[in-house]
C-alpha cells in the first residue's frame, strides 16, 4: 500500500496571511494566499493542486488503458479546470472539467473516446472526487 505525504504551513490571518505547500518527496513547493485562492493573486492554491493531481492521474490511467487495449500512446495530455463556488454558504469544488488530447497510433476516434470515458470513472483521483463532484470530459485524438 502506497502512502503519499504533503504538508502546508499557513502564517497569519486568512486575509493577510501566506502559506507554503510542499509534496513529501520534494517534487513541488509553492506559495499560496487568500488572493491566489479566491482572487487573481500570484501563487498556487489547493484547487490547482487538485486539478494537477487529477490531470496527472487521468493521463497515466488513460495511457495504461490505451496500452492494455493494444494502442500504446505516443502522448496523453490532460488539463483540469476546477470549479470552486459557494454552495449553501460554503466554498465547494462542484465540478472538474477534464480535457484530454491523445496522440495514439492506430486507434480511431470512437475507441479513443470510449477508453477515455471509462478512464474518467476509473482513475483513483476521479474515484476519490466523484461522490460529490461532477466530472466532465472532452477527449480529442490527434
What are the tens digits of pLDDT across the range 10-34? 999 999 999 999 998 889 999 999 9
pLDDT at 36: 94
131 has a pLDDT exceeding 90: no
Task: Note the pTM of the prediction, 2 decimals.
Answer: 0.93
Q: What is the mean pLDDT of residues 96-124?
A: 97
From 30, 76, 84, select the one nearest 57 (Cα to Cα): 76
Task: Give yes or no for residue 67 having a pLDDT over 90.
Answer: yes
> Per CATH, is 46-141 categorized as 3.30.300.20?
yes
Q: Taking the mean position of all CA atoms in its chain, how far away is CA 48? A: 8
The per-residue pLDDT for 78 is: 98
Amino acid at each position: 500500500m502506497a502512502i503519499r505525504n504533503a504538508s502546508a504551513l499557513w502564517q497569519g490571518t486568512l486575509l493577510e496571511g501566506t502559506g507554503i505547500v510542499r509534496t513529501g518527496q520534494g517534487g513541488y513547493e509553492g506559495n499560496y494566499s487568500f488572493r491566489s485562492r479566491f482572487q487573481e493573486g500570484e501563487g498556487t492554491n489547493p484547487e490547482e493542486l487538485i486539478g494537477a493531481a487529477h490531470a496527472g492521474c487521468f493521463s497515466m490511467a488513460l495511457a495504461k488503458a490505451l496500452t492494455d487495449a493494444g494502442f500504446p500512446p505516443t502522448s496523453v495530455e490532460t488539463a483540469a479546470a476546477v470549479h470552486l463556488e459557494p454552495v449553501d454558504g460554503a466554498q465547494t469544488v462542484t465540478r472538474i472539467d477534464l480535457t484530454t488530447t491523445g496522440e495514439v497510433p492506430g486507434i480511431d476516434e470512437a475507441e479513443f473516446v470510449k477508453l477515455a470515458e471509462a478512464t474518467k470513472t476509473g482513475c483513483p483521483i476521479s474515484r476519490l472526487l466523484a461522490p460529490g463532484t461532477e466530472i466532465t470530459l472532452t477527449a480529442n485524438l490527434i
